Structure 1
């Protein structure tokens, strides 16, 4: 097992299993089951978020010619916002989302007019969408358009906190890191929270079909 996983990687599971290598391996397998179940639910949530945000951004009053993906519209939606970074250096906090959309247009073929616009939307990563609810965008995106992606009265700050936590958790899952020790139940609740405010149909589907409650309840235990 140590040749396969490396001693450093397996140590966390071995310690969680009280030094029992069989229980440690069972916990490693359980971690994989948790990750698999989360990827399913996060996949549903990410697709729903990006499609809802796409529809909302199309209604933004500053969008030109009915398309927010264009360079001209993005220059207005993500206008330069200069602020000092952690090192005290000035940085345009909207440079990254503008670059993300530019890359999505290029890689999808949208700029050439050869693919449906949905191809460009799908190129944008979860990190892009989760950044749109940041404090920076409350007046520029949330108030004029993005709030309409959610049920009336949705709290932007709480939604942003949940989406940011899910982004970080998703990155751990994608890189095959441990998640069993990262409060997975809290992240399951984040998914449910966002889904409930985003789409009653999505919320119902996830709560009816998610494997997460059963998987999280099935933690391996010592048999002796």
Structure 2
């Protein structure tokens, strides 16, 4: 296992267990379980985010807002749209709204919340996606979703998250952020999340 998982990948686990390989493997297993436990809330957040933003943008710019020039998108966003279209074409899938929503990366949606869009698409459209609890300032929404994006990427790339001191807070902030868009969806995600149960389990 040390060879196939690689010494480099196990290094942080070995450091945390004073070079005890057996204990390091146990910590690696715990990290895997924690990462797995984040799947449900992260999946729910990402699907909720892209559908909520799409609805808000559609109401203002039309359903094909990412195809035409109606929405004032900047070059980075347009590049991500082009890349998503290219992937769909390569996979012989239709370049339609539903497929585009699934293909566009999480970073694309978080990018639409950035400061550079404050005076344009945020004020004209996207703020409506976050009115479930009376509305949130763009900066608060972007900061939260960007932090979640970084955690999501660590999990997606199988990196250690056990060292993060505020995993419980991170989980609860994901559930809260879903609630900014839909209270019912937030309640559903919280009900089905196994994170707190897994977090409470002792080390193997």
Question: What is the Cα-based RMSD across aligned positions, in Å?
Answer: 2.1
Question: How many pairs were matched up?
Answer: 199
**Aligned partners of 2:51, 2:125: CA distance in 1, in Å?**
14
Any unmatched runs of 5+ in structure 2? none
- Of residues 77, 99, 104, the one that matches 2:72 is 77
Any unmatched runs of 5+ in structure 1? 79-93
Query: Normalised by the size of structure 1, how large is the TM-score?
Result: 0.81
Specify the alignment match of 1:142 in structure 2: 122
Q: Following superposition of structure 1 onto structure 2, how do residues 47-196 of structure 1 map, counting pairs within 5 Å?
A: 47-60=47-60, 63=61, 67-73=64-70, 76-78=71-73, 94-109=74-89, 114=94, 116-151=96-131, 152-183=134-165, 184-196=167-179
**Aligned partners of 2:104, 2:19: CA distance in 1, in Å?**
43
CA deviation string 1:184-213 (max 9, x = no partner)? 223212212211111111110111110111
Q: Is the 8 A contact 2:41 2:190 kept in 1?
A: no
Q: Is the 8 A contact 2:63 2:97 kept in 1?
A: no
**Aligned partners of 1:136, 1:120: CA distance in 2, in Å?**
23
**Aligned partners of 1:107, 1:8: CA distance in 2, in Å?**
33
Q: 1:150–1:180: structure 2 CA closer, same or farther, 3 Å change rule?
A: same
**Aligned partners of 2:163, 2:201: CA distance in 1, in Å?**
14
**Aligned partners of 1:12, 1:106: CA distance in 2, in Å?**
38
Q: Is the 8 A contact 1:130 1:164 kept in 2?
A: yes
> Is the helix fraction higher in 1 or 2?
2
**Aligned partners of 1:207, 1:29: CA distance in 2, in Å?**
24
Q: 1:2–1:117: structure 2 CA closer, same or farther, 3 Å change rule?
A: same
**Aligned partners of 2:169, 2:16: CA distance in 1, in Å?**
20
**Aligned partners of 2:48, 2:150: CA distance in 1, in Å?**
18
Query: Normalised by the size of structure 2, how large is the TM-score?
Result: 0.88
Please identify the structure whose Cα radius of gyration is greater.
1
